[in-house]
């Protein structure tokens, strides 16, 4: 037999097999993949939960960091104003 004839014979045999046992093959495949799909869904749910927790903590940390930076900015500004006043020469008086 030539390759093309073997190919056509294989197609016909596959089609007959699907017609006769297609539903059984399909239900068997569903049953075997159910557990895998279920575990994958649980894994995705766990990743979603953990991601939410991490992002919540991250938001809290960012708020604390922002407050810290604001406080630091105020302290630095106060220190710079005090230094400026300390080094500024006294105003000249009208007597010469």
Buried b / exposed e along 40-58 (16+ C-beta atoms within 10 A): eeeeeeeeeeeeeeeeeee
Per-residue pLDDT at 61 = 81
Per-residue pLDDT at 95 = 60
Rounded CA-CA distance 50/56 in Å is 10
Average pLDDT on 64-78 reads 89
Q: What is the per-residue pLDDT across 31-64, written as a single tens digit (0 to 9) for each?
A: 778 878 888 888 888 888 888 888 777 777 888 8
The pTM (predicted TM-score) of the whole model is 0.40
Q: Is 12 left (phi over 0), alpha (psi -120 to 50) or beta?
A: alpha
Per-residue pLDDT at 37 = 82
CB-facing half-sphere around the CA of 12: CA atoms within 13 A:
6
Rounded CA-CA distance 3/8 in Å is 9
């Amino acid at each position: 037999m030539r390759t093309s004839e073997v190919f056509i014979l294989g197609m016909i045999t596959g089609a007959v097999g699907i017609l006769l046992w297609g539903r059984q093959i399909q239900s068997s495949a569903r049953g075997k993949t159910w557990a895998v799909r279920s575990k994958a869904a649980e894994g995705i749910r766990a990743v979603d939960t953990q991601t939410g927790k991490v992002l919540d903590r991250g938001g809290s940390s960012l708020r604390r960091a922002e407050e810290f930076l604001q406080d630091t900015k105020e302290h630095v500004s106060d220190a710079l104003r005090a230094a400026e006043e300390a080094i500024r020469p006294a105003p000249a008086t009208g007597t010469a």
